Amino acid sequence: MLPSRLRCWWFALLTIGSSKAIYSSAESHHDYVLSRGLLEKWRTKTKNGVTLFDRLPRNVERSYTPPQVIEHRGFPVEVHHVTTEDGYILELHRIPSRTPRKVVFLQHGVLQSSGTWLVNPSSRSLAFLLAELSYDVWLGNFRGNRYSRKHTTLTPDEAEFWKFSWDEIGNYDIPSMMNYILTETGQSKLSYIGHSLGCGVALAPLSSFAYITTDFFRVWAPFTDRIEDALKLIGVHGWLDSEGFGNRFFELVCEQTYIQAQSCRNWFRSVVGPSENLDPAMIPLFNVNFLRGTSVSVIAQFAQNYNAGNVFQAYDFGRRGNLLRYGSVKPLEYDLAKITAPVYVFSGGSDHLVTPLDVDWLLSKLKNLNGSNRISDYSHLDFVWGIDVKEKLYEKVIALLPPP
């Protein structure tokens, strides 16, 4: 059964399509007048000088990989691979500086990839802004997403490949990528900037391993926890990659006209908060960078932390599983007070996933908090794809970084 909102849109479009019919009754004529008025309203110019029925511009980068996007924007690019202690082969994308410079490591959120940082025009993309300033920019990819779906002994077709949660990502992926970057560049420190899950999983090893202490973390939207039901699907281990049918579906439903793009942008609003700060013309690039795949356990852990309330905990295997894994009936709690690396938190006052209450709780637990900044009208995706993100956020973030 179709969602009522979708049926409503289809009905409206069908009404407009028949608006030139000949009406013989007063009631039909009234309907005709209403539909013609609606059509004229939709023909009015938007802020970008286009009508809602105009076709979206085609963007060649929709089919590009992150390295291809970087090259297309006129920047040098390198592709690196690092193998974690538990055998996952992760892909890193680098925008190198011409001479050895300070390193900035950008990490994407859940269901995304390194391409998240490359969607916006170069003038408001953090990765390209940093590269223009001569920083050595590295973009990570978590295990299970489209660019880190290899293993030394397992394949993605095996259930064992997908048996990972935040804990493995935080305790294996993050340290492995950091150590590789520092070794490759010869630098002793790096600055880490994460979005959404990219921050939550970075806090896990910081609260567990004392040796990661000197890096300055700039954190916004630290972890997503507004998931109501644990997603354990029988026989499904890895999911939510828009490749294939999903890609074609989004292209058909969301990417033909501005009115379709605005409707799909409204879907973002229902999930993450107000979306008016997202450019509808960029919807094709949002779609191909939004669902890049992860494990069911990663999604389930969001729900577990939400249901537990005021806690940042490891994956909950149930009483018996927890006894075997942690030696207690409850899962391990990460002690955020142990984090000695200086942290700066950026958050959004209109974020439906990471609410101000969530952020306030986090701030109360961090003992080495260097500061925080809440952007009142920002929701979850504004931090990476907002129209005014350079002025409202990135300029402040860059000001906190050491000179390149």
The active-site residue out of 114, 196, 207, 295 is: 196
| CA dist., res. 31 & res. 227, Å (int) | 42
31 flagged as catalytic:
no
Do residues 113 and 292 make contact, with C-beta atoms less than 8 angstroms apart?
A: yes
93 flagged as catalytic:
no
Do residues 383 and 277 make contact, with C-beta atoms less than 8 angstroms apart?
A: no
Residues 6+ away with beta carbon under 8 Å from 87: 151, 152, 153, 154
The active-site residue out of 93, 151, 195, 380 is: 380
| CA dist., res. 177 & res. 182, Å (int) | 9
> For residue 195, what are the β-bridge partners?
220
380 flagged as catalytic:
yes
| CA dist., res. 320 & res. 303, Å (int) | 19
End-to-end CA distance of the chain: 55
* Long-range contacts of residues 16-25, Cβ cutoff 8 Å, at least 24 apart: 16/42
| CA dist., res. 162 & res. 297, Å (int) | 8
The active-site residue out of 167, 316, 351, 358 is: 351
In this structure, what token pair is assigned to residue 80? 């690196």
For the annotated catalytic residues, the residue numbers are 196, 351, 380
